[in-house]
Amino acid sequence: MSRWWLLVTFWVAGCTREVRPEAPPPAPLEVTLFVSSELKGYLGPCGCSENMRGGIARAAYQLDAVRQTGRKVLLVDTGNTLFGQSAIEVEAIAQQERKAKALADALMAMGLSARANGPLDDVRGAAFRQGLGLPDFPSNAVWKVPLDASRTLAVVSSANADELVTRARQARASGAAFVLALLEGPMANALPLGQRDDVEADLVVATRGKDELAGETNTLSALRVPVVQVQSKGRSLVRVDLSLKGPGRVTWLKSPTETQRELDALAQRIELLRAQVNDPSMDEGLRQLKKAKLEEVVARREALANEPVPVPGEVSAASVRFVPLETSFPSLPSVQALVTAYDRDVGELNVQWAKTNDPQCEPAPAGRAGYVGSAACRSCHAQAFPLWEASKHARAYPTLVEQGKNNHLDCVACHVTGWKEPGGTCRVDRVTGFDAVGCESCHGPGSLHVADTSPRSIVRASGAVMCVGCHDRENSPHFSLEKYLPRVLGPGHGEPPPPDAGAPLSPSPRRR
Ligand code: HEC
Ligand code: HEC
Ligand code: HEC
Ligand code: HEC
């Protein structure tokens, strides 16, 4: 269970070194700092499962809502922002660059103050990245963001812990009101920094998932210096509320224990309800009830998390929490417009690329099967076919059409049959016959079997591996063979055929 709802805290010894007796004390200042991490080119979730978190326009709304209250709002992004993979196929370059541009525009519209650079940001070259005009700052330096006439927030970033400690010390010595330290590495590398007593940063952020599947959860360790890691792909933000009064370092505030306990319980309820609304065997009426309940619990947790923590007397104080960007949260229209423009442009770009370059699928090598499409299976499998036709798999491509995303290279592979496979489909604008999750998506290519009709020339069942290429952790996080498989089978398709079924295939002795 993740612990992203914790409001943490720790008392850090006040530091008197910065007191300048001759200067009048600066006026109190309320600042909210948001931190995003490893956006990896995500403008929003695909919507493959119910209640998928995230979306840059939802994040923008959160910042805007705080700005409306009169607080100063800052956004720092910790890198690996622009692209999701270290290699981009030639056909996807136009789409990925357009998306990086949309994301950069959105971040600028949100008032991005500083951005660390990650290896995934330079996948299209440093020049492309620099052309986006983001406030990128170098590793191993002290980057200052003015808060008002006399105060600054300092950001330091490094892959090397000792280097980070040195830069944080320099930032502190320069009089920064708050020092944010970005450790370009996983949580495990950042945690020791939370315990070292020579760390003069106020907050340490671990900015890289340890592998492709990491970065799934929000984690916070309330050490001497708090250490956090935030969900990747724009699913959550870190929110730090600063109340700057006297000089000296901030004191971390703690929300009351009972509040924490309740937040904890609500978060568990949310995870449970999310799994329930994604159970394909759930009755539709009940699902709607569970969805309404989920929204209610999300709203309750949000209200509780937003309750102000009492700030003691005349000291500078800080509190930190995560903001998971739930589907029930509103989007900021001006940023949503940037996403909508991207969605519109990218379909056109991809179709244009396909027309110009005319990519062709390879024919199947001699003796190996190629994809032929589901229509070729109909005549002989008169029981399986209508079952499949009535399933959601048969509607997978229309789902994309309804979303206006059928020409998106991020989407098409799992919503058609035989994408970029021998005999299959290799052009976004030429999917006729393959425009569904068809028979061959599960049974494999069928050209040899159509010719010889032998059961040996086609895959019957191979367990979850048949499914998890598409039903992966990201797009179908609640997938289990036990719950999903019965939904695709039926009489004549993995179950005994009905007695009066006039199937063209006489039931043959089964091998099981
Ligand atoms: C890795 C494979 C994969 C990719 C890529 C993918 N999808 Fe999906 N999509 C799925 C799976 C699997 C499901 C069904 C999930 C479930 O029910 O557990 C699904 C379901 C959906 C649904 C819900 C359909 C319904 O019945 O309610 C929508 C909408 C959707 N996808 C849109 C998209 C869009 C838009 C993109 C591109 C941004 C995309 N998908 C990319 C695999 C994928
Ligand atoms: C010309 C008729 C014909 C066509 C077309 C055809 N099949 Fe078959 N299929 C058969 C026969 C015959 C069997 C064996 C039935 C048996 O043994 O009960 C079979 C068996 C199967 C089996 C079960 C294999 C096993 O190990 O038990 C699968 C799966 C299958 N077909 C899928 C497909 C798919 C997918 C397509 C379309 C690409 C397709 N078939 C097209 C005739 C056909
Ligand atoms: C080629 C990709 C792909 C493969 C392989 C695949 N699926 Fe799917 N599946 C999808 C997509 C896409 C959807 C969503 C379709 C839609 O509603 O638009 C989906 C939807 C479903 C649904 C409906 C979920 C719901 O919410 O009602 C079930 C059940 C399902 N798949 C089970 C399976 C099982 C079991 C396997 C393996 C035996 C499998 N799928 C293999 C892509 C795939
Ligand atoms: C979501 C994945 C999936 C799709 C799509 C799918 N099947 Fe199947 N099919 C299976 C699985 C899994 C089994 C094995 C069931 C078992 O052995 O218990 C199966 C079994 C079969 C069998 C043997 C059935 C029997 O009872 O003897 C045939 C024939 C078959 N499928 C044909 C088709 C045809 C034709 C289509 C398209 C119209 C299709 N399947 C679409 C997953 C799928």
Task: Determine which residue's CA is closest to atom 39 belonging to ligand 3.
Answer: 467
Look up tokens 């590495």; give the residue.
Answer: 185
Farthest CA pair distance, the chain: 98
Least confident of 306-310, 364-368, 415-419: 306-310
pLDDT value, residue 25: 73
Which pLDDT band, with edges at 50, 70 and 90, does 10 fall under? Answer: very low
Q: What is the mean pLDDT of residues 5-17?
A: 38
pLDDT value, residue 213: 65
Task: Determine which residue's CA is closest to atom 43 belonging to ligand 3.
Answer: 470
Q: What is the mean pLDDT of residues 135-148?
A: 94
Distance between CA atoms of residues 190 and 203, nearest Å: 11
Q: Using CB atoms within 10 A of its CB, is residue 104 exposed (0-12), middle (13-18) or buried (19+)?
A: buried
Is the pLDDT reported for residue 462 higher than 90?
no
pLDDT value, residue 215: 62
Which pLDDT band, with edges at 50, 70 and 90, does 7 fall under? Answer: very low
Q: What one-letter code names the amino acid at 71? A: R
Task: Determine which residue's CA is closest to atom 15 belonging to ligand 4.
Answer: 494
For a ligand 4 pocket test, name from 387, 397, 441, 443 the mutation site with the most ligand atoms within 8 angstroms of its C-beta.
Answer: 443
Is the pLDDT reported for residue 361 higher than 80?
yes
Task: Determine which residue's CA is closest to atom 12 belonging to ligand 4.
Answer: 461
Is the pLDDT reported for residue 186 higher than 80?
yes
Task: Report the half-sphere exposure of 386 (CA within 13 A, side-chain side).
Answer: 7
Distance between CA atoms of residues 104 and 59, nearest Å: 14
Task: Report the half-sphere exposure of 19 (CA within 13 A, side-chain side).
Answer: 6
Which pLDDT band, with edges at 50, 70 and 90, does 500 fall under? Answer: low
Distance between CA atoms of residues 11 and 90, nearest Å: 52
Which pLDDT band, with edges at 50, 70 and 90, does 307 fall under? Answer: confident
Distance between CA atoms of residues 512 and 509, nearest Å: 9
Distance between CA atoms of residues 305 and 331, nearest Å: 20
Highest mean pLDDT among 242-251, 375-384, 491-500: 375-384
Q: What is the mean pLDDT of residues 350-361?
A: 96
Which pLDDT band, with edges at 50, 70 and 90, does 2 fall under? Answer: very low
Query: 167 versus 23: which is more confidently predicted?
Result: 167
Distance between CA atoms of residues 151 and 25, nearest Å: 11
> Do the Cβ atoms of 164 and 184 come closer than 8 Å?
no
Task: Determine which residue's CA is closest to atom 33 belonging to ligand 2.
Answer: 377
* Residues with Cβ within 8 Å of residue 499, at least 6 apart in sequence: none
**Nearest ligand atom owner, CA of 403:** 1
Task: Determine which residue's CA is closest to atom 21 belonging to ligand 4.
Answer: 493
Task: Determine which residue's CA is closest to atom 1 belonging to ligand 3.
Answer: 414
Query: 11 versus 171: which is more confidently predicted?
Result: 171
Residue closest to 41 by CA, chosen among 54, 50, 51: 54
> Do the Cβ atoms of 236 and 325 come closer than 8 Å?
yes
Least confident of 169-178, 208-217, 410-419: 208-217
- Atom of ligand 1 minimally distant from the CA of 396: 24
Residue closest to 374 by CA, chosen among 440, 324, 426, 428: 440
Is 31 near ligand 4, meaning CB less than 6 Å away? no
> Do the Cβ atoms of 75 and 63 come closer than 8 Å?
yes
> Do the Cβ atoms of 220 and 320 come closer than 8 Å?
yes
pLDDT value, residue 128: 98
pLDDT value, residue 20: 54
Distance between CA atoms of residues 405 and 401, nearest Å: 6
Is 467 near ligand 2, meaning CB less than 6 Å away? no
Token digits of residue 140: 């191993």
Is the pLDDT reported for residue 499 higher than 70?
no
Number of neighbours of residue 122 by Cβ within 10 angstroms: 16
For 406-432, write each residue's pLDDT tens digit: 999 999 999 999 999 999 999 999 999
Is the pLDDT reported for residue 110 higher than 80?
yes
Task: Determine which residue's CA is closest to atom 28 belonging to ligand 3.
Answer: 484
Q: Separation of 474 CA from ligand 3 center, angstroms?
A: 14
For 271-290, write each residue's pLDDT tens digit: 999 999 999 989 999 999 99
Distance between CA atoms of residues 94 and 237, nearest Å: 28
pLDDT value, residue 312: 76
Is 494 near ligand 4, meaning CB less than 6 Å away? yes
> Do the Cβ atoms of 183 and 189 come closer than 8 Å?
yes
> Do the Cβ atoms of 347 and 122 come closer than 8 Å?
no
For 31-66, write each residue's pLDDT tens digit: 999 999 999 999 999 999 999 999 999 999 999 999
Token digits of residue 493: 């398709």
Residues with CB under 6 A from ligand 3: 280, 392-393, 395-396, 399, 414-415, 437, 441-442, 466-467, 469-471, 484-485, 487-488
Average predicted confidence (pLDDT) for the chain? 90
Look up tokens 């007796």; give the residue.
Answer: 21
Is 382 near ligand 2, meaning CB less than 6 Å away? no
- Atom of ligand 1 minimally distant from the CA of 403: 35
Distance between CA atoms of residues 105 and 112, nearest Å: 10
C-alpha angle with apex 58: 57 to 63, nearest 5 degrees? Answer: 95
Buried b (16+ CB within 10 A) or exposed e, 432-448: ebbbbbbbbbbbbbbbb
Q: What is the mean pLDDT of residues 479-483?
A: 94
Task: Determine which residue's CA is closest to atom 39 belonging to ligand 2.
Answer: 377
Which pLDDT band, with edges at 50, 70 and 90, does 507 fall under? Answer: very low
Which pLDDT band, with edges at 50, 70 and 90, does 122 fall under? Answer: very high
Q: Separation of 213 CA from ligand 3 center, angstroms?
A: 21
Residue closest to 237 by CA, chosen among 29, 30, 65, 38: 38
Is 334 near ligand 2, meaning CB less than 6 Å away? no
Residue closest to 232 by CA, chosen among 253, 222, 217: 217
- Atom of ligand 1 minimally distant from the CA of 474: 1
pLDDT value, residue 81: 98
Is the pLDDT reported for residue 113 higher than 70?
yes
pLDDT value, residue 22: 63
- Atom of ligand 4 minimally distant from the CA of 485: 12
Residue closest to 52 by CA, chosen among 484, 476, 395, 480: 476
Percent pLDDT > 90 in the chain is 81
**Nearest ligand atom owner, CA of 464:** 3
pLDDT value, residue 330: 96
Is 374 near ligand 4, meaning CB less than 6 Å away? yes
Token digits of residue 470: 């598409």
Distance between CA atoms of residues 187 and 228, nearest Å: 8
Query: 503 versus 376: which is more confidently predicted?
Result: 376
> Do the Cβ atoms of 423 and 363 come closer than 8 Å?
yes
> Do the Cβ atoms of 206 and 228 come closer than 8 Å?
yes
Q: Separation of 510 CA from ligand 4 center, angstroms?
A: 14
> Do the Cβ atoms of 72 and 147 come closer than 8 Å?
yes
